[in-house]
């Protein structure tokens, strides 16, 4: 019964999900863009994720400006002592995903616009920004967003 309720809840979200507690790619093009071709990367942005002594959780940097049509490689390193995520999406989708993560904190991800890293680990997201706008980066491990772990990606024609 619990699995059926979980499946129903996850099926109602815009983000693809499975009742097993993980959700997989298949996004194709999203409002924020689409998975990029590694051979077309025009810029690499290095991002660190960590906690601060005063209890904040941060991305450094946490504000990016990119051009519409540009393919970016985000090289992300968890420099903290806790697991962290880097999720790139529209703000409304981030907030939907945040609510689900608060209910199911052990949910595993297999999305091209997200990565979860253990302390000391690194990974890449290659992303092509196909639309103008301001999009979010966020860590959706419960409590991390509220502790400050989010930022903006501004996509413009110039």
Look up the CATH number of the domain holding residue 128.
2.60.40.420
Sign of the C-alpha dihedral computed for residues 93, 98, 99 and 103 taken in this order: positive
Asked if residue 5 belongs to a domain, the reply is no
pTM value > 0.85: no
Whether the bond between 61 and the residue before it is cis, its omega within 30 degrees of 0, is: yes
Residue 78 structure tokens: 């968890």
Q: How far apart (Å, rounded) are the C-alpha atoms in residues 28 and 123?
A: 21
From the number of C-beta atoms within 10 Å of its C-beta (0-12, 13-18, 19+), residue 24 rates as middle
Asked if residue 44 belongs to a domain, the reply is yes
User: In the chain, which residues have pLDDT < 70?
Assistant: 1-29
**pLDDT of amino acid 27:** 44
Percent of all residues in the chain with a pLDDT value above 90, rounded to a whole number: 75
Asked if residue 10 belongs to a domain, the reply is no
**pLDDT of amino acid 129:** 97
How many domains, in total, are found in the chain? 1
Asked if residue 26 belongs to a domain, the reply is no
Asked if residue 23 belongs to a domain, the reply is no
**pLDDT of amino acid 125:** 97
**pLDDT of amino acid 29:** 61
Question: What range does the domain containing 129 cover?
Answer: 35-156
Q: How far apart (Å, rounded) are the C-alpha atoms in residues 56 and 38?
A: 33
């Amino acid at each position: 019964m619990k699995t059926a309720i979980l499946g129903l809840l996850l099926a109602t979200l815009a983000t693809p999900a499975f009742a097993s507690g993980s959700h997989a790619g298949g996004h194709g093009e999203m409002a924020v863009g689409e998975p990029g071709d590694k051979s077309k990367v025009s810029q690499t942005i290095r991002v660190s994720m960590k906690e601060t002594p005063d209890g904040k959780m941060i991305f450094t940097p946490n504000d990016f400006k990119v051009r519409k049509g540009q393919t970016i490689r985000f090289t992300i390193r968890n420099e903290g002592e806790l697991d962290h995520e880097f999720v790139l999406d529209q703000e409304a989708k981030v907030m939907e995903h945040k609510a689900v993560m608060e209910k199911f904190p052990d949910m595993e991800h297999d999305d091209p616009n997200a990565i979860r890293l253990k302390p000391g680990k690194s990974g890449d997201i290659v992303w092509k920004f196909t639309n103008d706008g301001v999009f979010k980066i966020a860590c959706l491990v419960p409590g991390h967003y509220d502790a400050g772990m989010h930022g903006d990606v501004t996509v413009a024609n110039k």
